[in-house]
Every structure is written in C-alpha cells, then in structure tokens.
Structure 1
Amino acid sequence: MPACAVLARARRHRSICPSPVSARSEPILMWWLLRTILMLLVVGMLALALAVGPLFLQDTPILEASAPPSPQDVVATRQLVRDIRAAAGEGQESNTVLRADAAQLNSAIRLGSRFIDGFRGRVTIDASEVLGEISMPVPWWRGQKWLNISGRVPEFEQQFSLSRITVGATDLPPALAIAVARTGANIGIGHRFGDKVLEAATAMKITGDVLAFRIDLDDVGKNGVMRGAFGTLRGREMPAPDVIEAYHQRIREAIEQGTLSETGSLLPYLRFALQAALENSTPETLPNAYTAAVFGLAKACGAKDFAMIVGRLAFDTATAPGEWSTHCNDVTFNGRIDSRRHFITSAALQAASNTGVAVSIGEFKELHDIISGAGGFDFTDLAANLSGIRMSNVLMAAPIDAWPSLLERMSAEQDVIVPFDGIPQIMPEAEFKARFGDVDSPQYKAMLAMIEARIDRLALYRGN
C-alpha cells in the first residue's frame, strides 16, 4: 500500500525546495479530496458556531455567491489534485512539495461549494499571509443566518498557525479557534481526524501569489480515519476492508466459474451482489452488507481506478490480489461500457456518502470532458450516475422484508437504469453553453429534473 507522505517526519525541519513533478490522476480522486477537505471545514465551523454562540451569526454573508464551476475550474482543480498526488510520492523520501496559486485554490473552492448548498469561500494571497474567507448559511427559527469566518495564515514551519481569526464581527484568540476546530473534527468525525489533519500541514511558504506546502498526508489517508469520515456522512461506520474484499472475491469467483458472464448486461451482476448482501443479513446489518457488496462490485466492474482511489478507505490492500483469468471489462449497461462504470461507481459512492457527493462527481467529470479531449458534456453519463444513486437510496432505506420484492422488480435493465432516448449526449463547450449555459441555469436544472422524473417511473423506484 503506497504511503501518502510528502516528506518523512524526520525531514520536517528541512527548508522547502519546490521541484517539478508529474503524476497520473483520475478525476474521482479529486472529488474525494474536495469532499474530505470541505467536510473538515464545515465540522470545524459548526464547532466554532456552537462554541461562540448564536450572537456571532450574522444576517448577511461576507462573500457574494460565486459563479457556478466552469470546465476551466475542473481542469485547474484536477491539476492541483495531480500535484497533491505527485507530492504524496510512493512511500519514499522526497524533496517534492505542493505548489498552488490563488486561482487554483479558488477553482477548487468553487467545485467544493457544490457539495454544500449555499457554501461560499475565497482565498487571497498577499506578501506574507493567506486570507481565507468562508460564509455558510445556518437555518434559524426566523429565517436564515450566516456563519461568517475569516482567518489569516502566516508562513509557518513545523506547526500550522493563525495570525487572526474573525467569527462574525468578533476577533477570537487564534489558538482557541484552532483548538475548537480540532476538537470539533475529532468528536464529529472521530479517529482523531482534526488532530491528524492539522498535524499533516508541516510548512507553508509564500512566493508572490504562489503557496508552497509541505504536507504529510499519510495519517489522513489511513483506513480508520477515512472510514470514520465517510461513516459520519452516511450515519454509520463504513464496513471493514476484509468484508468488502470478501464480496469482491465472491464476484470474481463467480466470473471465473461462468456463473456471471464476461459479456452481456450488468444486471445479473447486480442481482448476484444484492442477493449476496441479503443472505445472512439482519435488519441492522443489511445497509452495511449492501455497501460492502456494491463496493466489491465497483472494485470489479466500476471505474477502472476505483479500487486505487478508495483503497485506503475500504479495501484491504495488504492482501495480494487474485490472479484472475476472466473479467467484466466487456459487460455493458444500456448497451454501453461507460454506463456500466458510471452506474456502479455512483452507486458505491452514494452508499459511502450522500447524494451531493455522487451527483457532483458525475457533474464535474462531464465539465472536465468538455475541454479535455474526451468529447464534451454528456447527460447520458449523468443519467447513469443518477440511476445508480437512486438504487443505493432505495435499497439502503428499504427494510429487509421488502428486499425480495425489490429484487423481483429488477427483471430487465430498464427497471433499474433510465433509457437514454431523448437525453443529450456528447456536446462540445460551445454547444453546451448555447443550450444550457452553466450548471446553475434553469435549462440545466430542467434537464436533470426530466431525468429524475424518468427514473421515478422505473420499476425498481416506482413508489419509493
């Protein structure tokens, strides 16, 4: 299992020496990272709000709503995540550090804001400090209030610090604010999450509008921490890696034995995995059994780097993989290989987190495809994503005695995944802008609503 350390702890006192790096990264890693970072910010902010009391909430935000994310934002953020992954290395000591400018960081914030309705953020870099500003809506008994926080981070070595932190209109002692955010993340997420994230930041230097970070990501990536983080999102602990691997092994053995065909539809795979989850489950254990089964299926048949991306979260990567002579690479859904990958990967991400994560992952992937050479924005990919999300929502909410009836409803593909007729496919940037504008436009939202309405009529989801 590769370690995620930019520099070994023994080398923390060395000065930052940026060096050029390059590494391959798949888009899904970006969404996991953004969600984790934003989750820490939100938990910390809520802890601050509880600590300082409602008098610190304000009637208006300190930041204007930003424009919806653009394809260029996705590309900039993906490059940032590539750099993070390159800086993480392969478990060897390295002089590599992470560099990012304000434009990249603000692109990442615009994407991350899609995960939490109303969230706003901005980073500004000056000669010696970084100014971070955040506004988040807070439901209130007489309408809505805003939690506004601004903080200044000076250059540091060894230990993260703040020179100023303002909540509402009040300045707080920086050490107190850090302690409250750390404790809130520790309690809210568990696994010493706040401690580990703050300990991961070991240095920051500012050169012009570019930040150079030295970060030790290893502790943040360990199974226990990530399972706890996504357990918080889903309301329960993630299944243990060995349980997920057992489902993966069972699916792969079924392919080897010919029980599951190497060609044809994904539907038999779905029914096989769901039946396996139902066997020997109790009402209390069935949601986790479903999550483990769908993760095992995603590892076998989902996005090609799914296992690599979430390996620290869910898979027992210490176990050597089996030598398989068969595979599901040619299996399709709605007659398409990419729809199979979109459907099952979104179902797995939904089982691990919530709708906002899985929808945004698909949305950002399509924005990236507009200018990446992959062709353009494809609503049929989003339709497959949304169908997979709905399957997870329905099955995880259903009582155990309803499962046999739900499995019976899955007799054909069109009982589970929405047909693509009439749904726009690959559109270059100019066509997407002409027809839909951006991902906040009424036309875009109407298209998603139409897809959701079609999903409502499918046999598996009808009445749920």
Structure 2
Amino acid sequence: MIRIALRTLAAAVSALLACAVVIAAVALEGTPRVRIQDQVSVADVQRARAVLARHDPRRGNGIRVRTVTLTAQDVTLLLQYARARWRSAAATNVKVRRGAMDVQASLELTGIPFGRWLNVDAELTEGPGLPRVARLTAGRVRVPAFAANAVVGWLLHRAQPGTPLAVARETVKRVRFVQDSVSVEYVWTRDAGARIGTMLVPEADVQRIEAYNAELAKRVVIVAGASDLPLADVLRPMLRLVNDRSVHGDAASEHRAMIATVALYVTGISLDRWIAPAATWPRPARRRVTLNGRDDLAKHFLVSAVVASQSGSALADAVGVTKEVDDSHGGTGFSFADIAADRAGRRYGQLATSNPQKLQSIVAQRLEERDLMPRVTDLPESMTASAFAARFGEVGAPRYEAMLRTIDARLDRLRLFR
C-alpha cells in the first residue's frame, strides 16, 4: 500500500510539473507585444512635476484624505520610470475608460528556455479599495478572474511592511476610472513618508549610503580650511571607497549609492528626509562644491548622474532640459552651460553603472576636473524665453540640436567618455 501511495504521489507530482511546463511554454513568447519606449519629453516631466507639486502629501499635519488624478499618459510615464528604476526590460500600454482600465505589458525574463517575454493583457475595474481584475491573459493562457483576484488578495495580505504592495494596501482607499484618467483616493499619515522611503530605498542601499555618508563627513572636515570644494576632490576619496567595497560586492549598486549620497549633500537635501535612521548619522559640514568653479554646474552634473544611474539617460536628459525651459520663463535664464553639465552628469551616471571598471581605472590615475566637464565659457547662457526662441527656435529645432552636437563633441574628447 505504501509503495502504491508513493507511486501515486510521484505520478501526481510529475503531472503537476508537466502541466507547469506546458503552461510556461504557452504563456511565454519570443517577442514583446508592446514596444519599449525610452523617449521622455519635456512636457512629460513638466506635467509630472506639476502633479507632484499639487499633491505633495507632506504638506499639512495629521491624517489627511486626498485625491490625485492622473491621465493615462501620466500612468504610462510612472510605469516607464519604475521599469528604469528597477532596471527591468518591460513596456506598458495603458488605456482608461469609464469604470475600467486596459493594461498591456511585456516583461522580459531571462534564463527561461521557452521564450523571453511574458506578454500580459488585463482589464482592471473599480471596486472598494484597489482595482479588481476583470480579465487577464498571459501569453496564450487565459487566467480566470477569480483566480487572479485570489492571488492578488493573498499577495496583499502577505506583503511585508515597507514593500510597494503593503504601502498600497495601507494608503489607497479607492481608485476610480473615468475617460482617459485615473482618480486615486489615499490616506496620508505622519509615518507614511517613512514607509514610502523604506519602499524606495532598500535596506542594502541604506547600508551603502550610510558608509558613503560617513566617508563624506570625514573628508569634508579634512579640507575644511577651503571655502569651496572642486567636485573632483570630493569624488576621488569616495570612488576609492567604492572600489574597496566593490571587491566582494556589486560595483554598479555601490556607484549608485555613492552618487546619490554626494548629490543630496551638494544640493542641500537631508538624507533623513527619505531614510529615517539617517537622523542619527554624522552630518557632513556644509561646503560649496563646484565644477569648473561654479556650484550650479556641480548640482546639474550630480542630479543628472543620479537620474541616469537610477532611471536611464532619456529621463536624465528630459529633466535637465525641463529645468532650463523653466528658467527661461522668469528664472536664471536658459543656459547651454547647464545643459552641458546635465549631459556630462548623464554620461557619468551611465558609465558608473554600465562600465565601472573604466571609471575605476581613471580614478587610479587621479580623477581631475577636466575629466568631468569640458570648457563651457563660450556657450550661450541667461537667455529669456524670447531670446532663446529668437536664436534657437525651440527645443528640438535644428539650431538647438546643433548646439547639442557641439556639446557632445566636447564631451567625447574627455578622458572619461572616449
């Protein structure tokens, strides 16, 4: 009897495994159904910034119930950012109609013999709390809605604090779909920022940032006699620490953490704004960090480096151009020198994460300011919107693109970017 039972169990397990293999073979496909889009426009970034400004949940105290409305394009942009942030090959198409949202997504999987792409087609409908799955297809497999909702419910129930699913479970009260837009009602409490910070900054990155913050605090004290700090002088010791920590670790992740730490310091943003334990860490003495003798260029460089290292070059370029367009309307004016710093920072962020060995070899020979930034004193600056339009037309016009080619040619000659 025992032998019969064991044989029956083995046969059942084999049958289940065979079914799983068949389902995987049918669900996975050789090509994506949704085309990956890497272009991010200035208008996309401006719209996202406007939404964030209008719905900054940190304003006010106590428990607040708020509603944010996003267009289908906003949702697509957020999903594109998430794809880049978590460095996954994926593409998403979103269409919103009254009462429902249609989502098409293609996610690349590696190491699977049946196919590289999981193509998902889903319909989400309104309900109490988070949306419910009304229809779900994975490749050629039709998944019953009740099964999909049961899995989602189980995942939400089991989600650990600080994870995206847990934050959604705790803060989102209702999602409504209207024509071409999504309305999200959420509750913001005093500790919501800390929970979201935990979600955005994993524990491994918190430990990395703590190490780089300690090194930064030590180094700026050593050079405290000088009023200004060239960016290269700040980066050199930090990059040596990156090299030491990368011997038995992930070099790209170490570079990302270091760049973020230095960027927050240079822009004057406190680490404890997003990382609660940072409130007890040593605080580096405040110093003015410069690039080519200017602190604005250092800030442009580092912000673009952070965005490129975390989210990709398309978003980094769009963020930089958006800042200059804003400045041309009553700010400091449109500056191609700032654009040069943005593009240099973008290249640095890409290099640090895609080819850290090249960066480390240059650091070993001594990193200099001329390795980070080309000459920019002859580039047009401080242009109002009308002055910019008179000389260059608009962003993307031939004369504007010619200036970008001039800047890129100078960057190509730098030792870091050859």
Q: TM-score, normalised by structure 2?
A: 0.68
| Counterpart residue number, 1:433 | 396
| Counterpart residue number, 1:239 | 207
Is the CA contact 2:110–2:116 (under 8 Å) kept in the aligned structure 1? yes
- Tell me the SS of whatever aligns to 1:80: helix
- Tell me the SS of whatever aligns to 2:66: coil
How far does residue 172 in structure 1 lie from its aligned partner after superposition? 0.9
| Counterpart residue number, 2:71 | 101
1:283 aligns with 2:247: yes
Q: Distance in 2 between matches of 1:118 and 1:285?
A: 23
| Counterpart residue number, 1:228 | 202
How far does residue 128 in structure 1 lie from its aligned partner after superposition? 1.3
C-alpha change, 1:292 and 1:424, in structure 2 (3 Å) is same
Q: Distance in 2 between matches of 1:144 and 1:445?
A: 40
Q: Distance in 2 between matches of 1:238 and 1:248?
A: 15
How far does residue 380 in structure 1 lie from its aligned partner after superposition? 0.6
1:342 aligns with 2:342: no
Is the CA contact 1:201–1:213 (under 8 Å) kept in the aligned structure 2? yes
Is the CA contact 1:334–1:413 (under 8 Å) kept in the aligned structure 2? yes
Q: Distance in 2 between matches of 1:328 and 1:60?
A: 51
Q: Distance in 2 between matches of 1:186 and 1:294?
A: 36
Q: Distance in 2 between matches of 1:112 and 1:447?
A: 32
| Counterpart residue number, 2:291 | 333
| Counterpart residue number, 2:3 | none
Q: Distance in 2 between matches of 1:50 and 1:87?
A: 46
C-alpha change, 1:449 and 1:50, in structure 2 (3 Å) is farther
- Tell me the SS of whatever aligns to 1:55: helix
**Percent identity (aligned):** 15
The AA in structure 1 aligned to 2:184 is: F
- Tell me the SS of whatever aligns to 1:53: helix
| Counterpart residue number, 1:16 | none
Q: Distance in 1 between matches of 2:93 and 2:405?
A: 29
C-alpha change, 1:377 and 1:190, in structure 2 (3 Å) is farther
C-alpha change, 1:80 and 1:173, in structure 2 (3 Å) is farther
| Counterpart residue number, 2:366 | 409
- Tell me the SS of whatever aligns to 2:182: strand
The AA in structure 1 aligned to 2:46 is: V
Q: Distance in 1 between matches of 2:28 and 2:156?
A: 20
Q: For each residue in 1:53-77, what CA deviation from the matched residue of structure 2 results, as whole angstroms up to 9, or x when unmatched?
A: 1322346654467694322222222
| Counterpart residue number, 1:70 | 41
Pair member with larger Rg: 2
How far does residue 338 in structure 1 lie from its aligned partner after superposition? 2.6
Q: Distance in 2 between matches of 1:265 and 1:54?
A: 56
C-alpha change, 1:180 and 1:173, in structure 2 (3 Å) is same
Q: Distance in 1 between matches of 2:106 and 2:243?
A: 43
| Counterpart residue number, 1:28 | none
| Counterpart residue number, 2:277 | 316
- Tell me the SS of whatever aligns to 1:78: helix
C-alpha change, 1:88 and 1:285, in structure 2 (3 Å) is same
The AA in structure 1 aligned to 2:299 is: R
CA RMSD across the alignment: 4.9
- Structure 1 residues without counterparts, runs of 5 or longer: 1-48, 232-236
Is the CA contact 2:103–2:122 (under 8 Å) kept in the aligned structure 1? yes
The AA in structure 2 aligned to 1:170 is: V
Is the CA contact 1:182–1:194 (under 8 Å) kept in the aligned structure 2? no
The AA in structure 2 aligned to 1:247 is: E
Q: Distance in 1 between matches of 2:399 and 2:358?
A: 36
- Tell me the SS of whatever aligns to 1:82: helix
Q: Find 2:346's aligned residue among 381, 386, 392.
A: 386
How far does residue 385 in structure 1 lie from its aligned partner after superposition? 1.0
The AA in structure 2 aligned to 1:415 is: D
Is the CA contact 2:27–2:140 (under 8 Å) kept in the aligned structure 1? yes
User: How do 1:67-146 and structure 2 match up within 5 A?
Assistant: 68-84=39-55, 86-87=56-57, 89=59, 92-108=62-78, 119-136=90-107, 146=117
C-alpha change, 1:430 and 1:108, in structure 2 (3 Å) is farther
C-alpha change, 1:422 and 1:178, in structure 2 (3 Å) is farther
1:362 aligns with 2:316: yes
- Tell me the SS of whatever aligns to 2:274: helix
The AA in structure 2 aligned to 1:193 is: T
Q: Distance in 2 between matches of 1:64 and 1:282?
A: 35
Q: Distance in 2 between matches of 1:215 and 1:112?
A: 20
How far does residue 283 in structure 1 lie from its aligned partner after superposition? 2.9
Q: Find 2:172's aligned residue among 201, 207, 210.
A: 201
Is the CA contact 2:39–2:314 (under 8 Å) kept in the aligned structure 1? no
C-alpha change, 1:238 and 1:321, in structure 2 (3 Å) is closer
Is the CA contact 1:347–1:391 (under 8 Å) kept in the aligned structure 2? no
The AA in structure 1 aligned to 2:92 is: G
Is the CA contact 1:151–1:162 (under 8 Å) kept in the aligned structure 2? yes
Aligned residues: 380
Q: Distance in 1 between matches of 2:125 and 2:165?
A: 20
Q: For each residue in 1:183-226, what CA deviation from the matched residue of structure 2 results, as whole angstroms up to 9, or x when unmatched?
A: 99999x99773542542433112355443212357388455433
Is the CA contact 2:71–2:180 (under 8 Å) kept in the aligned structure 1? yes
Is the CA contact 1:134–1:149 (under 8 Å) kept in the aligned structure 2? yes
Q: Distance in 2 between matches of 1:185 and 1:450?
A: 50
Is the CA contact 1:192–1:225 (under 8 Å) kept in the aligned structure 2? yes
